[in-house]
Structure 1
Amino acid sequence: MDISELQSTLHLLFETLQGSPVFKSLRPVSIADRVVLLLFLLSTCGYLTRGHIWDRPDPNYGAYFERPQLVNSASSNKTIMTRNIYQRIEDGDYQVVIFWGSQSGTAERFAEVLGRECSTRFGINAMVADLSDYDAESISEIQKPYFAIFILSTYGEGDPSDNAVGLWDWIKRIKDQSTKLENLQYLALGLGNSNYKYYNRVLDVVVDAFDAAGATALIPAQRADDAVGATEEDFQSWKDEVFSLLRERGYEQKTATYQATLNVWLRPNSERHSDVSQQVSISHQQSTTCSTIYPLPIRSSRELFTAGDRNCIHMELELGNNDILYKTGDHVGIWPCNPDEEIERLLKVLGLKERRNDALDITVLDDSAKPKVPRGNTLESALRHHLEICALVSRKTILNLSQFAPTPSAKAILSEIGQDRELYAQLASSTHITLARLLQLASPVDPWTSLPLSFIIENLLALQPRYYSISSSSIVSPRCISITALVVNKVIDSETPESIQGLTSNYILSASKLQSKASLPTPSFQHTASPTLGSTLYAHVRKSKFKLPLTSSTPLILVAAGTGFAPFRAFLSERAKLHTIGKPIGRMILFFGCRNPDSDYIYREELGKLQDTLGEALKIVTAFSRDQAKKVYVQDRVSEYGNDLLEMLDSGANMYICGKASMAREVDGKIEDAVKRIKGLEQSGVKVWVDDLKRRGKWRADVWG
C-alpha cells in the first residue's frame, strides 16, 4: 500500500463515519469531545501508516544475525546454506561430519581439534558441525561411505547442552516413529563427570537409540570423566582409536607437523588502548539464557567465615541502569582476569617482556579457526583478559611444544612427559602445570623465542566465566545481586608450597579488599574502576531452572552444604517478604551442613532473623562434620527425616538440592532408601517415583563437580 492508497482509504473511512447514524448521534458538542475524537483519528491514522510512513523495517535487519565468518568467507557466495546435513556434506565434498554438543566449550574444542587433525594427518575433508545449525532428522540420510562422529557433553541432571536440544528431541522420537538408521555409521565420545548421578547420560541415550534403530558403531562409544581430571587424557585415548580405525579403512597417516590456523604478529603500538570493551570476551554470546556482559559496581563485601584459614565472601553488585534482569534462583557469571604473577612469568619465559604493550595483529588462515582475542589488544591485555594462562596444560600440547624447544635438553624433557601418561600424571599431582611453569621447568635459562604466538593462542583456551548461584531475591532487591564465593586454595604437595589457587574466587577476594586468611601468598590482580562507578566486576546473568514454585503455599524441602546455601538464602528471603505482606506460606524444612558451627556456619545471624519472621513455617536442621567425634553430614540428617520428607513430597512439596555433586548423589540415595523402606517398592518402582517428581519439576538440583 503506497501513500496515495492510504490517503484514499482514510478519506473513505472518514466519509463513511460522517454519514453513519452512529457518528451523527456521537457528534462532538464540547471541547472534550473534540479532543477525544481527534485522538481517536490520530491513533487510527498511526496504526494504518505504521510500516509505510513510520517504523519502516530495516532492509538490512537480517544482517544483524549473520555470522561474520560466513558473510566474509570466499565460499559464501558459492554455497547456499542448508539445514539438511546430508546435503551440506555432499555440497561441500566432505568425507566425515563431526557433530559437537557443548555447554562450556570443551566438546566444541575437541571437535575442532579432531577435524583439523583428520585433515593434516590423513588428508580427510572433515566438517565440524554445531548440532543446532542442522535439522537432526537429516542425520538419518547420512549413508556410506560417509560417517558421523558425535562428541556430546552431559551436564546438570543428565541434560543435553543447549545446542543439542534438537538432537535430543529427535532421539526421543526415533523409537516412536520406528525410524530406521541401517545406513548410518557413527562414532561417539561422551563428556561427563562421574560424581553426578546421570554420568554421561546424553551419550548413553543417543547411542542406545542409534543401535536400536540399526545404526553401526564403528568403534565402541567412549566416556571421558572430568571427576578425576581425565577429560583431556580420555579424549586423546579415544582419538588414538579413531586414527587406528582410519588407518584400517585405508587412509595413510602422514607425519604430524605444526600448521598454523592463525597468522599472529606484534607491531609497535602507537596508542595505548583504554577501551574497557576490550576486556570483554568475544567468545560470550548474548542469548535467551545469557544477558550481555556489563561492568557491575561493587556495593559492599563482607567475610562470612568467623575463624579458620579459609575465606568465604559475600559480595553485592549493583545492576544500575543497564538492561540486566534476574529472577530468584538465576546464576551470575563472573569474568575474571589472570593474576599479575602468571602474566609476568609467561612474558619472561617467552622473552617478550619488552613487547608487552605491542599490539597483536591476528589473521585467520583456516575457516575452522575462531579468534579468541578481539582486535586492538596488546600482548599483555590478551594474556590478562582473554586466554586461560592458568589452566593445566594437556599432555598432547606438551608433546607438540617440544618441537619449539630452545635447547635439546628442553626438547627431551617435554618429549618424555608428553609420551608418558604416568609421568604426566605424577607431575600434575605434584605441581600445577600452567604453560609458563612448564616452559620454565623445561628451560630455566633460555627463553622460548621460537615458540609462535599463533601456537599459544590456538592451544590455550579462551578465558571463561565462573558461575555462582545468586544469593539474593529479585523481589527483595531487584537491582542488586549478591554472590557467595568460597575462596579456593588447594594444596597439592604438602612438602612444597605448591597449590592450585582458584582463579575467580581469588579475583573476587582481591576485588573485595578483604584480608586473605590463607597461609600461602595470594595472587594479585588488576581491577577495573571508573570515577562514576567505582570498583567493578565484569559479569552477566544466566537463567536457571532452579526456581521457586509459583504459589507461595507450596511446601519446600531445601538441602545444602556450604556455599550451596546461596540460592536458599534468596528463597527464604523471598518467602519471608511474602509472609510479611500477608501471603500464605507453605511449610519449609532446611537441611544445612558445614564443618563447624563456630567457624563456617554462613549467614547464621540472618537465618536466625528469618526463623523469627517465619516462625513455625521454617524448620532448620544442621549437620556439622568436624564438631564432634563422629562426622555428621547433611545426607545423614536427610536420612533421619526420611518419613517427614516422603510425607511432604507426597503432599506436593518441592525439593531442592544445592552443593557438590557427590553430596547430591548421597542425598538422592538416602531418599531412595527411604522410599524402598516406607513404600515397600523395588528399585524399578523407586526410579519411576523419582523420575515422576523430576519430570514435574518437584525435585530439582543445582550442583557442581
Structure 2
Amino acid sequence: MESFTFPLDISELPSTLSPLLRTVQSFPVLPMLKPSSVPDGVAAVLVLLSALGYMTRGRMWDKPDPYYKVWFERPQLEDGASSSKGAITRNVAQRLEESDYQAVIFWGSQSGTAERFAETLGRECHTRFGINALVADISDYDAESIAELQEKHFAIFLLSTYGEGDPSDNAAGLWDWIKRIKGQATKLKSLRYLAFGLGNSNYKYYNRVLDVVVDALDAAGATPLMPPQRADDAEGATEEDFQSWKDDMFALLRGMGYEQKTVAYQPTVSVEFVEKVHSENDGPVHQVSVHHQQTSLNSAIFPLPVRNSRELFTAGDRNCIHTELDLGNSDLVYKTGDHIGVWPCNPDEEVERLLETLGLSGRRQDTITIAALDDSAKPKVPSGSTLEAALRHHLEICASVSRKTVFDLAQFAPTPEAETMLTRIGQDRTRYEQFTSSTHITLARLLQLSSPLEPWTALPLSFVVENLLSLQPRYYSISSSSVISPRRIALTALVVNKEVADENKSTIHGLTSNYLLSASKLPLNTKVATPTFQHTSTTGGEGGTVFAHVRKSKFKLPITSSTPLILIAAGTGFAPFRAFLAERAKLHALGKPVGRMLLFFGCRSPHSDYIYREELEKLQETLGDKLRIITAFSRDGNNKRVYVQDRVAEESETVLEMLSAGANMYICGKASMAREVDAKLEEAVAQQKGMKESEVKNWTDGLKKRGKWKADVWG
C-alpha cells in the first residue's frame, strides 16, 4: 500500500464535495486507483462513502428499535389494565380454576364458522344452564395443559377440517400435541370431553381433524360424554348439523343434572337510531367490512374499477364472464396463482323487502349506533352507518335462515298465525328441511311469508344484526399473469342462478357472480330476471367499481420454467391455468427453455361453454409440441358423458411417466372432481406399479409434501 494525493484542483469540484475530497486526499488506496478527472474523483468519493456507510450501519445510523418486538406481541390485557394475578396464563387448567369456569369450549376455525359456533354455545350454556364456560381460541393456550384438566371440568372441541385434511391455522399447536400423546393410555384419564367437526364430504379427507383428535383422546384415556358428530357443508347443512348436535348436548346436560331454563331474548349488542343532520359534506357510506384485517396473506381492501369485460359462453342460457380489475395507482400487488376476494353488496330487491317487512322503509337513511353488551360480541356493522348501508354492505341478508333463528323469531311474531307457523317449523327438523327444500328462504322472505299483511315492528334490530352473518368475500382464482399484466387482475366467473321447485318457481341468485355481471354491464343470457345492484361509477364508463383484496396462494408455477406441468381443470377451474400457460408462452417466445405441458380441460359442450377456446388455440400455435390439450365434454350430443377424470384415467400412463420425470401436477375445480381424479390416479399407480394401498398413500403424500401435486378446489 502507498499513499498519494489526488492530482485534482479542488476548486474544480462542486462546493458540497470539496470538504469530503479533502478528507480522503491522503487516504491509503491501491496504487492502481489514480483518478485523473473530476468524474473519477467523484466516483472515488462515492465508493469510500458507501463503504463507510456499510461499516457503520447499526452503530452510527439505522440503529435497531429495542421495542420493535412489541409490534408482534399479542396483548393479553386491556391497555392500562392490571391484574393481581399478573398476565393471563397459557395453562388452560389453571385459567379454569382461577376464574371459576366449569367448562372450556375450544375452537379451531379457518373461516370463522367454528369460532361463531363456540361463542353462541358459550352464551347458551350460561343463559340456559348457568354453566360458566370459557370460549377459547386453541392457540391462546398450551395444548399440553389440557392434560391437567380436572374431572369436575369438561372440554368441548369444535374443530374444522380444510384442504388436504388439514387443521385450521390456530389449531397447529393442538395438532402437534395430539400426535405426541397417541398411545399414552393414562395421559388423559381425568379429561371428559365432547367433540363436533366441521367439514365437507366432497373433500377426500372429510372431517379428518375431528377423527384424528378423537382417536388420540380416546387412546390416551379420555372419556367422551357422547359420540362425536360431524357437519357436512356439501349440501349446506352445517348450521342444521350444529343445531342437532347442540340439541343432543343439551339433552346430555339435563341428564347430568343441569336444570334448563326458558330464557327470554337477551341482546348481545345494542342497536339504536341517533339524530344526525345529513349534509353534502358527509363522508362516503361505510362499504368496507369491519372484520377484514390486512395480514401477511391478505392485502387491504381497495375499490377497483371494472375494465374489459366480455362473455365467454357462446351459446345457451347461462353467463360466464371474463372481467378485469384495474389496480391503477393503488398499492395492491399480486402474483400469478393468487386469489382475488370480491366483496359484494346485497341487491336492491332484498334490501327493499327487508326494510318493508321490518316496517322501517322510512328510516333507511337514519344513522344507527352499535355497541357490544357482551365480551364475546363482535360488531358486524360499523357504528355511524345508515340502516340501509348496514343491510346493503355488511350483513348476509340473502343467506338462508337457520332452524334456530326460525324458532327464535316466533316470540316477536306480529300475529298468532305467524307465531304458530314459525314454532312448528323451528321445532321439527324434518318439517324445516321440507320447508326450506321447496322454498327459497331469506330472512325477509320468511318474515313476509309468515305475516304477509302485518310488518314485524316488534322485532328488535339487535336480533336482526345478531342473527344475520357478516357479509363475506367470495374468492376467485386470478386468471391473469402478474408477469404479463401486473396492473390488471383478470377473473373468470360463472354466473350462478339456481331454480327452486316451489309454486312461484323462484330463483336463488348467486350473490357475487350476479354482482360482477351487473358491474360488467354485459347483457344477460338467461331469461330469468336478475337482481339489481348499486355500483360506484368509474371514469371511462366501462363498468362499476368493486371492492376487493388479494389473498396469497401456494398454487404457484415452479421456479424453473423447464419443469413439466400437468394441468387438470373443469369449467372455471381453468382460470389459474390461463395465467400459467400465458406466462410459459411468453418465456417460450423470449427463447427461454419451457417444459412439456399436458392440459386436461372438461366442460359440457365444445359448442357452448368451452371457455377461452380461441386463446388456447393461439397458445397451442405459440407453444407447439410443448403443449398438449385433452378435452372432456359431458353433454356433447351423444349418450356417453365424458368427464375430465375419465380422460386422466385414459392417459394415466403418460401422467405417471411425467410425474416420475419430475413434473408438477395441478388440479383446479370442484372438490368432487379433484377427489375423482385422485382416485383414478391412485388406482392406476396401484395397477401399474403393483403397490399396496398403504404404499399408494405414501406415494401420493410424498408428492404433495414436496409440492409436486397441488390442488385449488372448492365445495
What TM-score, normalized to structure 2? 0.90
Distance 1:528-1:57 versus aligned 2 partners, 3 A rule: farther
Query: Residues 274, 501 of structure 1: CA spacing in aligned structure 2 closer, same or farther, 3 A cutoff?
Result: farther
Partner of 2:106: 99
Residue deviations 1:399-433, cap 9 Å, x none? Answer: 00000011111101111111121221112111211
Matched, 1:700 2:707: no
> Could you tell me which residue of structure 1 aligns to residue 216 of structure 2?
209
Q: 1:319 to 1:343 in 2, by over 3 A?
A: same
Aligned residue among 275, 293, 305 for 1:285:
293
Work out which of the residue numbers 176, 199, 204 in structure 2 matches 1:169.
176
Once residues 542 and 212 of structure 1 are traced to their aligned partners in structure 2, the CA distance between those partners, rounded to angstroms, is: 39
Q: Deviations over 1:16-61 (max 9, x none)?
A: x99x996999999996456655666567666434467xx86779x9
Does the 8 A contact of 1:430 with 1:498 survive in 2? no
Cα pair 2:186 2:221 within 8 Å, conserved:
no
Q: What displacement does 1:376 show? A: 1.3
Give secondary structure in 2 for the equivalent of 1:278.
coil
**1:66 Cα shift?**
6.2
Q: Check whether the contact 1:50–1:56 (CA below 8 A) recurs between aligned residues.
A: no
Distance 1:472 1:29, change over 3 A: closer
Distance between the aligned counterparts of 1:571 and 1:91, measured in 2? 56
Which residue is 1:641 aligned to? 651
Q: Which of 48, 54, 60 matches 2:59?
A: 48
Q: How does 1:369-518 map to 2 (within 5 A)?
A: 369-493=377-501, 496-518=504-526
1:686 aligned onto 2:693: no
Task: Please show how residues 499-538 of structure 1 align to structure 2 within 5 Å.
Answer: 499-529=507-537, 535-538=544-547
Q: Distance in 1 between matches of 2:217 and 2:167?
A: 16
Q: 1:128-147 alignment to 2 at 5 Å?
A: 128-147=135-154
**Residue 382 to residue 592, structure 1, CA distance change in 2 (3 Å):** same
Task: Identify the range of structure 1 (526-535 vs 447-456) with the bigger mean alpha-carbon deviation.
Answer: 526-535
**Structure 1 alignment gaps of length 5 or more:** 1-16
- CA shift for structure 1 position 321: 2.8
Q: Is the 8 A contact 2:101 2:133 kept in 1?
A: yes
Structure 2 counterpart of 1:160, from 149, 157, 167: 167
- Which residue type is aligned with residue 585 of structure 1? V
Query: Do the aligned residues in 2 keep the contact of 1:97 with 1:148 (CA within 8 Å)?
Result: yes
- Output one character per residue of 1:477-500: Cα deviation in whole Å (capped at 9) or x when no partner: 122211100000000217533111
Measure, in 2, the Cα distance between the counterparts of 1:258 and 1:532.
51
Give 1:97 deviation, angstroms. Answer: 1.1
d(CA) in 2 for partners of 1:517, 1:116: 47
Alpha-carbon deviations, 1:223-264, whole Å to 9, x = none? Answer: 011112221111111111211222222221111321111111
The residue type equivalent to 1:615 in the other structure is G
Cα 1:45–1:351 shift into 2, 3 Å: same
Shift of 1:203: 0.9
Residue of structure 1 aligned with 2:552, choices 527, 543, 556: 543
| Separation in structure 1 between the aligned mates of residue 47 and residue 690 of structure 2, nearest angstrom | 72
Contact 1:497 1:520 in 2 (8 A): no
Aligned length: 685
- Deviations 1:629-661, CA, capped at 9 Å, x for gaps: 211111111111121111112222221111111
Aligned ranges 1:48-447 → 2 under 5 Å: 48-50=59-61, 62=70, 71=78, 80-175=87-182, 180-271=187-278, 275-276=283-284, 278-447=286-455
Aligned partner of residue 362 in structure 1, secondary structure: strand
Letter in 1 for 2:670: K
- Return the alpha-carbon distance in structure 2 between the equivalents of residues 34 and 610 of structure 1: 53
Give ranges in structure 2 of 5+ residues lacking alignment.
1-22
Residue 585 of structure 2, aligned match among 562, 576, 588: 576
Instruction: Report the residue type matching 1:401 in the other structure.
Output: L
Q: Displacement of 1:679 after TM fit?
A: 1.7
Greater mean alpha carbon deviation, residues 401-410 or residues 175-184: 175-184
CA RMSD of aligned residues (A): 2.8
Tell me the equivalent position of 1:662: 672
Change (3 A) 1:532 1:609: closer
Distance 1:453 1:671 in 2: 53
Report the TM-score when normalising by structure 1. Answer: 0.91
Equivalent position of 1:13 in the other structure: none
Mapped contact 2:285–2:385 kept (Cα < 8 A)? no
CA contact (8 A) 2:674 2:713 kept: yes
What's the CA shift for 1:134? 2.4
Mapped to 2, the partners of 1:526 and 1:65 lie a distance apart of 41
Letter in 2 for 1:477: S
| Identity across matched positions, percent | 67
Structure 1: distance between partners of 2:355 and 2:27: 87
Could you say what secondary structure the match of 1:477 adopts?
coil
Who is 1:10 aligned against?
none
Change (3 A) 1:636 1:126: same
CA offsets per residue over residues 246-285 of structure 1, 9 Å max, x none? Answer: 2222221111321111111112332368544721101112
Helix, strand or coil: the match of 2:457? coil
Moved more, 452-461 or 148-157: 148-157
Counterpart for residue 4 of structure 2: none
Measured in 2, the distance between the counterparts of 1:139 and 1:277 equals 46
Distance in 1 (alpha carbons) for counterparts of 2:364 and 2:330: 33
- Secondary structure of 1:256's partner? coil
In structure 2, relative to structure 1, the CA distance for the partners of 1:45 and 1:699 (3 Å cut) is closer
The question of whether the paired residues in 1 share the 8 Å contact of 2:189 and 2:223 is answered with: yes
Aligned pairs for 1:619-638 (under 5 A) are: 619-627=628-636, 628-638=638-648
Amino acid of the residue matched to residue 588 of structure 2?
Answer: H
2:293 match: secondary structure: coil
Deviation per CA, 1:38-89, whole angstroms, max 9, x where unpaired?
666567666434467xx86779x9479767x952798879762333322332
Distance 2:555 2:176 in 1: 22
Distance 1:155 1:24 in 2: 63
Which secondary structure state, in structure 2, belongs to the residue aligned with residue 451 of structure 1?
coil
Distance 1:42 1:695 in 2: 44
CA-to-aligned-CA distance 1:190-222 (integer Å, 9 cap, x gap): 011111111111111111222222222221111
Could you say if the C-alpha distance between residues 35 and 110 of structure 1 is closer, same or farther in structure 2, counting changes exceeding 3 Å? closer
Moved more, 616-625 or 651-660: 651-660
- Paired with 1:76 and 1:444, the residues of 2 have a C-alpha distance of 55
Letter of the 1:686 counterpart: V
Give the distance between the partners of 2:446 and 2:278, measured in 1 at CA.
Answer: 33
Residue 10 of structure 2 corresponds to which residue in structure 1? none
